[in-house]
Amino acid sequence: MGGPSINEYWNAFLSSLPPTSPYFGRSFLTEKFGDTPQLADELGGLVVKGIKTAACSALWQWEAEGHFLPHLGMVSIVLNGQDLPLCAIEITEVYVCRFKAVDQDFAQAEGNYSIAYWREVNKKFFSRSLPKIGKEFSEEMPLVCVLFKVIHK
């Protein structure tokens, strides 16, 4: 079962807006949450439902890939595990903090998680993803934390 292409999805979003919308002329990125198609489906579904309004990633990953860090106002189209668009989001806050400094409010925003559960699943995630860039999980590792809002679904 297919869906609109990413550009078709973006154009449908723009056509739903008034001509004075600040989104005209703005670029966007695409992103999948998680590191498997199943996780992308699960986490993307939480975004669409408004349960997941935050995400984090290892600062080391951004540095290794040579990408610019996310910034306030950045727009992304969230993809499912089959690379089909689910929704568009806009970043409302960005900050860097240590893994051990993540608090209950952020864990809640990441998907209605307790801080204990958040720490457990993210430790597993980073323990399997960081070795790909020659790093190891650490409670001291810097995370890029973003909060976002859905702007189209």
Whether residue 57 lies inside any domain: the answer is: yes
pLDDT tens digits, 41-61: 999 999 999 999 999 999 999
Whether residue 1 lies inside any domain: the answer is: no
Reported pTM: 0.91
Percent of the chain with pLDDT over 70: 99
CATH number of the domain where residue 91 is located: 3.10.400.10
pLDDT tens digits, 78-90: 999 999 999 999 9
Q: How confident is the model at residue 1 (pLDDT cuts 50, 70, 90)?
A: low
Whether residue 140 lies inside any domain: the answer is: yes
DSSP state of 35: S
Whether residue 19 lies inside any domain: the answer is: yes
Tell how strand 142-152 and strand 54-58 pair up.
antiparallel
